[in-house]
Amino acid sequence: MKFEVTILGSSSATPVFNRNPSAQLLNCNEKYYLIDCGEGTQQQLIKYNLKAARIDHIFISHLHGDHYFGLIGLLSSLHLNGRIKPMQIFGPKQLLEILEIQFKYSDTTLRYPIEFFPVDNENSLQIFENSDLIVKTIILNHRIPTTGFLFQQKKRQRKLIKDKADEIPMAYYTALKKGIDVELPNGDILKSEDYTTAADAPRAYAYCSDTLYDERYFDTIKNCDTLYHEATFTHDLLDRANETHHTTALQAGEVAKRNGVNKLLIGHFSSRYKTLQMLLEETQSVFENTELAVEGKTFQL
């Protein structure tokens, strides 16, 4: 099952040097989930040939503009392009007010329904579930209420071993795939493990932006396969990071290391860094399996 993320923006605060503000597109089993939506996200989707119409769920971490100023434009374009299926949006409760006032003054009645789910910013909660995944919030520590999101694949059924399955009636498949042994009328037992192999282990992707380094959210992201974490500054600017409630590249590496993740992606880079190699190396000095989450890159999760 496909589980990958494409980076649409890696810049903090303002767009610079062809870096756009935060946005990521998660593809889970060919369904699209948009995570944050900075200004120009719809243009980035066009640029990377990703169909905005396929997005059915949008998750907004907080109400700093570099994480949501592109949302109203994306929603408007979907309307103008004829969308009729619902859009589910998860984010701070004031976001709906911001959207509605703009639709009101442009005299726009959307052709499609927005289903808005205000996100609690004090407790990590499950906020979404479908047949493919579960989404939980991560309570981050920023200047204004901010939640990250944990995307957990659901446990999949065991996979039939085709050659062996051909020998037995299809009626038994469902039970065997669920791991249940089947007793035949003659008393013989078909063991699930003889006819199926284990499914891929469900994977988890954690999205953490923006936040101070803060142990209180570690429990929520522990042992996830891939962690995206902001790394706005190099560690020589720790004071600046603390003051603005951001994380340094070194600290991002620490978060990954202390929480047993497999892979770390860093992003949300300050406009003071024209090139990013220094940030990458700083993080890798603590946690080697780190990559830069830059525009247009797709990561298998």
Do 87 and 114 contact (CB within 8 A), yes or no?
Answer: yes
Instruction: Identify which of residues 63 and 292 has a Cβ nearer to its own copies in the complex.
Output: 63
Instruction: Identify which of residues 192 and 271 has a Cβ nearer to its own copies in the complex.
Output: 271
Residue of 36, 56, 66, 120 marked active site: 66
Q: Does 54 bind its own copies (CB under 8 A)?
A: no
Q: Does 278 bind its own copies (CB under 8 A)?
A: no
Backbone conformation region of residue 269, classed left if phi is above 0, alpha if psi is from -120 to 50, else beta: beta
**Token pair 């990013």: residue:** 276
Determine phi and psi for 100, rounding to 5 degrees.
Answer: -65, -40
Q: Can you tell me the distance from the alpha carbon of 115 to that of 101, in angstroms, rounded to the nearest whole number?
A: 16
Instruction: Identify which of residues 50 and 224 has a Cβ nearer to its own copies in the complex.
Output: 50
Within 104-133, which residues bind its own copies (CB under 8 A)?
Answer: 105-107
List, in order, residues 6 or more apart from 211 with CB less than 8 Å away.
140, 141, 142, 146, 148, 217, 230, 245, 246, 247
How many Å separate Cα 199 from the centre of its chain? 22
Least CB distance from residue 290 to its own copies, whole Å? 27
Q: Does 94 bind its own copies (CB under 8 A)?
A: yes
219 is catalytic: no
Catalytic center residues: 66
Residues at the interface with its own copies (CB under 8 A)? 13-16, 20-21, 39-40, 42-43, 46, 63-66, 69-70, 72-73, 76-77, 80-81, 92, 94-95, 97-98, 101-102, 105-107, 143-144
